[in-house]
Amino acid sequence: MPTVRSYPLPPTKLIPNSEFPLLHYPGLLADKAACNAAKVYDLFTSNGWSLQWIWRYGPTQASHYHSTAHECMAVLSGSARIRFGVADTSDDLEASTHGPAHEDGGIMLDAKAGDVFLIPAGVSHKTHDTSPPAELKLLTPGDGHGIAAENPRQALVETELSGFTMMGAYPEGDAWDSCLGGEHEQQMDKIRTLSKPARDPVLGDSPEGICVSSKMAFNGPLSAGLPKSPYNPDDIPQVLRTWLDSDHETDITSQDSSSTFLHKPMFKTADLQNALIYARNNVVDAVNTFLQAIDLAVDNYQGRISVENIKNAYGGTHTLSLDESYLEDWEWHGEFGELRIFDVKWAKLVKSKTDKEPTLDKRFRRTIAALCRLRTVIEKHDGKLRREILKEQDEGKGPDSDGLKR
Note down pLDDT in tens along the chain; length 406 residues.
678 888 888 888 899 888 888 899 998 887 655 678 999 999 999 999 999 999 999 999 999 999 999 999 999 999 999 999 999 999 999 999 999 999 988 899 999 999 999 999 999 999 999 999 999 999 999 999 999 999 999 999 999 999 999 999 999 999 999 999 887 666 777 787 788 888 999 888 876 677 655 544 333 333 334 456 788 889 999 999 999 999 887 655 554 455 578 877 788 888 888 898 898 888 878 877 887 888 888 778 877 787 766 655 554 433 445 556 667 655 555 545 666 677 655 555 555 555 555 566 677 788 888 888 888 888 888 888 888 888 888 776 655 444 454 4
Distance of CA 391 to the CA centre of its chain: 40
Estimate the crossing angle of helix 238-245 against helix 269-300, to 10 degrees.
30
- pLDDT at position 250, please? 62
Rounded CA separation 75/54 (Å): 10
Amino acid at position 338, single letter: E
Terminal alpha carbon distance of the chain? 50
Amino acid at position 392, single letter: E
**Contacts for 252 with CB less than 8 Å, ≥ 6 apart:** 370, 373, 374, 377
Rounded CA separation 53/221 (Å): 34
- pLDDT at position 397, please? 61
Rounded CA separation 70/121 (Å): 5
- pLDDT at position 213, please? 55
Burial of 265 (C-beta count, 10 Å sphere; 0-12/13-18/19+): exposed
Rounded CA separation 137/371 (Å): 43
Which residue from 24, 260, 44 is spatially nearest to 167, judged by alpha carbons? 44
Burial of 1 (C-beta count, 10 Å sphere; 0-12/13-18/19+): exposed
Task: Map out the domains of the chain with their CATH numbers.
Answer: 5-220 (2.60.120), 235-394 (no CATH)
Secondary structure (H, E, C), the chain: CCCCEEECCCCCCCCCCCCCCEEEECCHHHHHCCCCHHHHHHHHHHCCEEEEEEEECCCCCCCEECCCCCEEEEEEECEEEEEECCCECCCCHHHHHHCCCECCCCEEEEEECCCEEEECCCCCEEEEEEECCCCCEECCCCCCCCCCCCCHHHHHHCCCCCCCEEEEEEECCCCCCCECCCCHHHHHHHHHHCCCCCCECCCECCCCHHHCCCCCCCCCCHHHCCCCCCCCHHHCCHHHHHHHHCCCCCCCCCCCCCCCHHHCCCCCHHHHHHHHHHHHHHHHHHHHHHHHHHHHHHHHCCCCCCCHHHHHHHCCCCCCCCCCCCCCHHHHCCCCHHHHHCCCCCCCCECCCCCCCCECCHHHHHHHHHHHHHHHHHHHHHHHHHHHHHHHHHCCCCCCCCCCCC
Rounded CA separation 68/122 (Å): 8
Q: For the stretch 362-395, what's the b/e string if a residue is b when 16 or more beta carbons lie within 10 angstroms of its beta carbon?
A: bbbbbbbbbbbbbbbbbbebbeebbebbeebbee
- pLDDT at position 254, please? 53
Rounded CA separation 344/330 (Å): 17
Taking the model in full, what pTM does it have?
0.58
Which residue from 27, 109, 96, 25 is spatially nearest to 64, judged by alpha carbons? 96
Rounded CA separation 169/298 (Å): 47
- pLDDT at position 251, please? 53
- pLDDT at position 284, please? 77
- pLDDT at position 309, please? 66
Longest CA–CA span in the chain (Å) reads 77
